[in-house]
Amino acid sequence: MIALDFSGQTAVVTGGLQGIGKAIAQLLHRGGANVVIGDIAARAREQSLRQLVLRTDVASREQAHQLIGAAVETFGSVDILVNSCGVSAMSAVDAMSEADWQRILDVNVKAIGWLSEAAIPLMRARKAGRIINIASQAGKNGYRLMGQYVASKHAVLGLTKVMAIELARDNILVNAVCPGIVETEMKWRERREGAELRGMTPEAIYAEDCSQVLLGRTAQPADVAGVVAFLASPLAAYMTGQAINVTGGMTMH
């Protein structure tokens, strides 16, 4: 296994206390990076060896900027920004609530803008940087009962492409990762809610999920983290504007 060295670099990871974000933060930290985690689940500011954790609601422009500012104050730079925080809701398209619409768009889409606008001047001044947006195969396909989430992840891919175009001259590479079905607490909540709406059991939906994946299993967060680490590394120095699938073959476009 290739060991990626992020020594001397600082990575900001949103949603880094759970699920995919946690796996990404842990892998980058093991690779030597200073890691700053912004997560609404954090209780208070916590600092340890090469790691800072801050309670952050990324839907707040002010808090997003404060997170980037804390990274610079503590470690001196922001070299890698991983926009991993995401939320979802389950409902039919004719029953989607205003509150769910607002929260999903705020967290899944607008937060990328808030965090990026704070990090870009720092990266631009150094003529180097990586921004990695965690999208979803839902940004390429449609899925029943997930209209708001699907719409938000399509928006993430569009925003990623525009950012890549605008920032290429500054050597800031912007890519998206599109996970498939990943075993997280959020996924099991979706299975429970989907099961109720569809008259099934969560276990039956899990079996349905597995049946759609060519590799015969759903993903673990570490499967996604490895691709993020690749995109953050020198191995991906000629990649920008891409939407990389990590779906076990479930999505191929």
Distance CA 17, CA 53 (A): 9
Tell me the CB-side half-sphere exposure of residue 50, using CA atoms within 13 A: 17
Place of tokens 């404060």: 66
Task: Kindly report the three-state secondary structure assignment for every residue of 127-165.
Answer: CCEEEEEECCHHHCCCCCCEHHHHHHHHHHHHHHHHHHH
28 burial (CB, 10 Å; 0-12 / 13-18 / 19+) is: buried
The structure tokens 């809701």 sit at: 89
Residue whose entry in the numeric block shows the structure tokens 């996604």: 224
Nearest CA to 157 among 174, 181, 182? 174
CB 250 within 8 A of CB 214: yes
- Residue 149 annotated in active site: yes
Of the candidates 143, 149, 206, 238, the residue annotated as catalytic is 149
DSSP assignment of 22-63 equals HHHHHHHHHTT-EEEEEETT--S-EEETTEEEEE--TTSHHH
Please give the positions annotated as active site. Answer: 149
